[in-house]
Amino acid sequence: MHRSAPRLSRILACAAVPVMLVAVGCSSDSGSDGKKNAGSSSSGTASSKPSEPTVEPAKFTDLPDPCTSIGKKTIEDLVPEAKKKGGTAGGSTDLSVRGSCSWNGLDDQGVKGSQYHWMDVGFTRFDSDQALGSGAKRATEDYGKQVTKTKATEGAKKAAAEPAAGIGEEATLVTYGLSKTDEDFVYATVVARTGNVVVTLTYNGAGYAGAKTPSSGDIVKGAQKAIKEAIASVEKTAGADASSPAKDDAKTDAEDTKKDDADAKGDAGSEDSPKSKATPKS
């Protein structure tokens, strides 16, 4: 009996050791997972970045046909006897982004010589881009480049530039002279911007066989008249950014209401009513 007691104590002591190790192991694993979870949460919060503001949508999503952007009557007045009254379209891989058209003609005035005129109109449209900026911003930058390029025309004489009021959102008129084919040409180039579209129009003229050189004033007036029509055609383009569907619905509802009111007034003032009968004029 005295021998078995110490032996039993040793067995119980050995049996207790694994239980303690398991408890310690569980405690250690739990603490490790907690640190990992805390680290992941902290890392996730630190890596999140605020979203970049979106750029303003482009106002115009299409361009007009350059060769029909200027009225036929204007073409007849500014380029008499044009070889192609419908104009000659310039090459373009995408007419919704870039397009141009030109006209030229020699008006024979008999013994008074001949008057030669040439006109060209070009459109460039810029889309809004998250990295490059809004279409209007990009168009403004190109507008400045085109003005600088025009003022630096090779061989230009007495080049002068000035703001052109009442044309698009901003416009610049550049006038200069050029000598070609032994004749003096008078030039007027107007560079204008409306929304995200840049319009450049050049108009020039010269007198042949003894005819007088066109006056700078007439050339300038012609260029300004033509580019105003070209810009108007851009603003009438179906691709212009119209109102939202919600606004369209509201507009339709308002028009329906207005129509209903008009119908009601019409019923009240029918031909049977004395007030509705017009008094004949003598």
Residue range 102-122, pLDDT digits in tens:
999 999 988 889 999 999 999
In degrees and rounded to multiples of 5, residue 188 shows phi and psi of -140, 120
Residue 130: CB atoms within 10 Å? 10
In a domain, 30, yes or no: no
| Domain assignment of residue 140, yes or no | yes
- End-to-end CA distance of the chain, in Å? 150
| Residue 63 CB coordination number (10 Å) | 23
Give the chain's domain count: 1
pLDDT at 259 over 60: no
More confident residue, 30 or 93: 93
* 14 in any annotated domain: no
Look at residue 19 in the predicted model and tell me its pLDDT. 45
| pLDDT above 90 for 83 | yes
| pLDDT for the residue numbered 237 | 81
| Higher per-residue pLDDT: 269 or 156 | 156
Q: Indicate the pLDDT class of residue 249, thresholds 50, 70 and 90.
A: very low
How do residues 219-247 score in pLDDT, each as one tens digit? 999 999 999 999 999 999 855 544 433 33
Q: Which residues contact 32 (CB under 8 A, 6 or more apart)?
A: none
User: Measuring CA to CA, which residue among 206, 156, 204, 159 is closest to residue 181?
Assistant: 206
Q: What is the pLDDT of residue 111?
A: 87
So what's the pLDDT on residue 4?
52
Whether 38 is covered by a domain: the verdict is no
Region 250-263 average pLDDT: 46
Four-CA torsion 125, 164, 119, 187, nearest 10 degrees: -130
Q: How far apart are CA 197 and CA 56, in angstroms?
A: 15
Domain containing residue 214 = 66-235
Distance CA 184, CA 199 (A): 26
* CATH for 170: 3.40.1000
Separation of alpha carbons 123 and 100, rounded Å: 6
Is 221 among the domain residues? yes
pTM for the predicted model, two decimal places: 0.68
pLDDT for residue 272 is more than 50: no
Judge whether residue 253 has pLDDT over 60. Answer: no
Kindly tell me if the per-residue pLDDT of 251 is higher than 80.
Answer: no
Residue 227 domain flag: yes
pLDDT of res. 148: 98
At 6, the pLDDT band (50, 70, 90 cuts) reads low
Bridge partners, residue 240, by sequence: 60
Mean pLDDT computed over 167-182: 95
Distances (CA, A) of 51 to 48, 95, 130, 134, 136: 9, 34, 12, 17, 22
pLDDT digits (tens, 9 = 90+) for 37-80: 544 444 445 556 666 779 999 999 999 999 999 999 999 999 99
Question: Quick check: is 242 in a domain?
Answer: no
**Average pLDDT, integer, range 85-109:** 96
Q: What is the mean pLDDT of residues 145-155?
A: 97
Q: Report percent pLDDT > 90 for the chain.
A: 61
* Structural domain includes residue 150: yes
**Distance of alpha carbon 110 from its chain centroid, rounded?**
47
